Amino acid sequence: MPPEKDEKAVHARRFDFFGLFFNALLPLAGMLLALLIGAIMLLILKVNPLTAYAQMINGAFGSVSGLTQTLVKATPLLLVGLGICIAFRASVINIGGEGQIIVGALAATWFPLTFRTWPGWLLIPSTLLVGFMAGAIWGFVPGILKARLRVNEILTTVMMNAVALQLMNLLVRSVLMDPAGISAGTYLAQSERLPEQAWLMRLVPKTLLNTGSLIAVALAIVVYIFLWRTTIGYRIRAVGFNAEAARFSGINVPFNQALSLTLAGGFAGIAGAIEVMGVQHRLLEGITSGYGFSGIVAALFGGLHPLGTIPASILFGALLVGGDKMQRAVQVPNSLIDAILGLVVLFVVGSALWSRRWAAHRQMAAAKNQEEQA
């Protein structure tokens, strides 16, 4: 998937108002079409679609609680999405997000519980770093297998996901199990609560919004700088754009591919760490809840651009949170939301065709202009 070809062209020519409007409108049109089909399904279930969708928007944005929920959900989506941006730009597909989040969360649980006397200013950054490294290792393994042995990364990342899940099961029910649960005889599948110095500060009282979201946004800027303002970033993008040409200009293609997969894993690992440190304050089952896959969708909605992934993850988070609220309010089964979300993804991604056609059209028109002026 080559990144947006028209990028440079956009900057080169005059401000293309209609094109912008068109580009932004199309994904929205796709989304609305999916919601329309969802409305039909709602009608079949004897629910008023207008009420239902109003509840959805209300749930996502209409209250402090809802808005913070949306942002809390958007955070891991953004972080995984950032990793995906890096990987996809090198033409590497990372489906290993789930496993990388898990090991990041595992590391970010084990570390503070082991070094629980460390002060917060030391514990928090080091835990985040440990989480990053754990995820990076989980991305490195498929990366090196791809680089050295040409093993396809789709295969290895899917397998690593399953391994990570079992690893978490193993640890959570033995070494990491909450001692309180053992003594009470409940044996819950969760770890002990993290020491308070490892907790990420809550931004809004009585909500789950925490500084992890700010960290995520800061990292988005870092990734942007990395990809567009450093040599390494340039090389990664070159590899993705045209691997043959990159090789000719002396860039080590396999190394950069492995690197991108490692970095992608690292960012997913941070997502896991922040979930544990900022939201749950402990490790428990279901901590990934599909973010490994939804993050891919968020990255693509954001045009594979780190800064674009920010609004894209907020939007996706809103859909998820709003969907839950809709489920509660009109008592439709949860699965309806999943089905509608699937349609949203299909249609939004399908609508990109016309964006590209329009962009190509503009590109040709601009080239023709230049010719005529010459």
Partner 1 sequence: MNDVFQLSVIAGILTSAIRLATPYLYAAIGETFSQRSGVLNLGVDGIMLLSAYASFYVVLNTSSIWLGLLAAIVVGLLMGLLMSFVSVTLKAEQGISGIGLYMFGLGLSSLLFKITIGTVKTVTGFQPVKIPLLGNIPVIGEIFFNHSLLVYGAFLLVPVAWWILEKTTWGLRIKSVGQNPAAADSLGVNVDRVRYVSVCIGAMLAGIAGASLSISLLNLFQDNLTAGQGFIAVALVYFGGWKPVGILWGALLFSTVNAFQLWMQVLGVNIPSDVAIMLPYLLTIAALAVTINRVRQPAALNKPFERGES
Partner 2 sequence: MFKRLIVVMVLLALLVTACAKPTPTAAPMTEVPATEAVVTEAPTEAPTAEPAKTFRVAVVMPSAVTDMAFSQSMYNALLAVQAEMGGEAAMEIKYSEGMFKVPDAAAAVRDYASQGFDVVIAHGSQYGSSVQEIAPDFPDVTFAWGTDVNTFGMPNVYAYTAAAEEGGYINGVLAAMLTKSKIIGVTGPVEVGDAKTYIDGFTQGVAAIDPTITVSKTWTGSFSDVALMTEAAKTHIAAGADILTGSSQSVVGSIGAAKDTGKVLWFGTQQDQASLAPELVVASQVYDWIGMVKEIIAQHLAGTLGGKTYILQLKNDGLKIAFNPLYALPADVLAAGQKAIEDIKTGKITVTP
CB of 306 to partner 2, least distance (A): 10
Q: Which is nearer to partner 2, 114 or 174 (CB)?
A: 174
Q: Which residues of 166-188 are buried (b: 16+ CB within 10 A; e: fewer)?
A: ebbeebbeeebbbeeeeeeeeee
Determine the Cα–Cα distance for residues 60 and 57; give it in Å rounded to an integer: 5
Q: Which does 349 bind (CB under 5 to 8 A by kind): partner 2, partner 1, none?
A: partner 1
CB atoms within 10 A of CB 196: 11
Q: Which does 296 bind (CB under 5 to 8 A by kind): partner 1, partner 2, none?
A: partner 1
Q: Which is nearer to partner 2, 11 or 150 (CB)?
A: 11
What Rg value do the Cα atoms of the chain yield, rounded? 22
User: Smallest Cα–Cα separation from 327: which of 52, 109, 61, 78?
Assistant: 52
Q: Which does 58 bind (CB under 5 to 8 A by kind): partner 2, partner 1, none?
A: partner 2
Please give the backbone phi and psi of residue 190, each rounded to the nearest 5 degrees, phi first: -150, 165
Collapsing DSSP to helix, strand or coil, 224 comes out as helix
Q: In the range 271-300, which residues lie near partner 1 by CB under 8 A? A: 293, 296-297, 300
User: Smallest Cα–Cα separation from 259: which of 140, 106, 150, 122?
Assistant: 140
Q: Which is nearer to partner 2, 153 or 324 (CB)?
A: 324
- What is the distance between the terminal CA atoms of the chain, rounded to a whole angstrom? 34
Contacts of residue 21, defined as CB under 8 A and 6 or more positions apart, other chains included, come to none
Collapsing DSSP to helix, strand or coil, 162 comes out as helix
Q: Give strand pairing partners of 284.
A: 190
48: left (phi over 0), alpha (psi -120 to 50) or beta: beta
Q: Is residue 315 within the footprint of partner 2 (CB under 8 A)?
A: yes
Q: Is residue 321 within the footprint of partner 2 (CB under 8 A)?
A: yes
Number of separate helices (H) and strands (E) present in the chain: 16, 0
Instruction: Report the half-sphere exposure of 312 (CA within 13 A, side-chain side).
Output: 29
Contact 187, 169 (CB under 8 A): no
Contact 96, 138 (CB under 8 A): yes
CB of 149 to partner 2, least distance (A): 28
Q: Which does 125 bind (CB under 5 to 8 A by kind): partner 1, partner 2, none?
A: none
Binding to partner 1 by CB under 8 A, coded x per residue (else -) over 338-357, reads xxxxxxxxx--xxxxx--x-
CB of 49 to partner 1, least distance (A): 15
- Per the document, the length of the chain is 374
Q: Which is nearer to partner 1, 143 or 278 (CB)?
A: 143
Q: Is residue 165 within the footprint of partner 2 (CB under 8 A)?
A: yes
Q: Is residue 167 within the footprint of partner 1 (CB under 8 A)?
A: yes
Tell me, what amino acid is at 363? Q
Q: Is residue 7 within the footprint of partner 2 (CB under 8 A)?
A: yes
Q: Binder to partner 2 among 2, 12, 152, 166 (CB under 8 A)?
A: 166
Q: Is residue 208 within the footprint of partner 2 (CB under 8 A)?
A: yes
Q: Is residue 58 within the footprint of partner 2 (CB under 8 A)?
A: yes
The residues that touch partner 1, with contacts defined as CB under 8 A, are 1, 41, 45, 93, 95, 145, 149-152, 154-156, 158-160, 162-163, 166-167, 169-170, 173-174, 293, 296-297, 300, 333-346, 349-353, 356
Residues in contact with partner 2 by CB under 8 A are: 4, 7, 10, 20-21, 23-25, 27-28, 51, 54-55, 57-59, 61-62, 65-66, 69, 72-73, 165-166, 169, 172-173, 177, 184-190, 193, 206, 208, 279-282, 284-286, 289, 302-303, 305, 307-308, 311-312, 315, 321, 324-325, 327-329, 331, 333-335
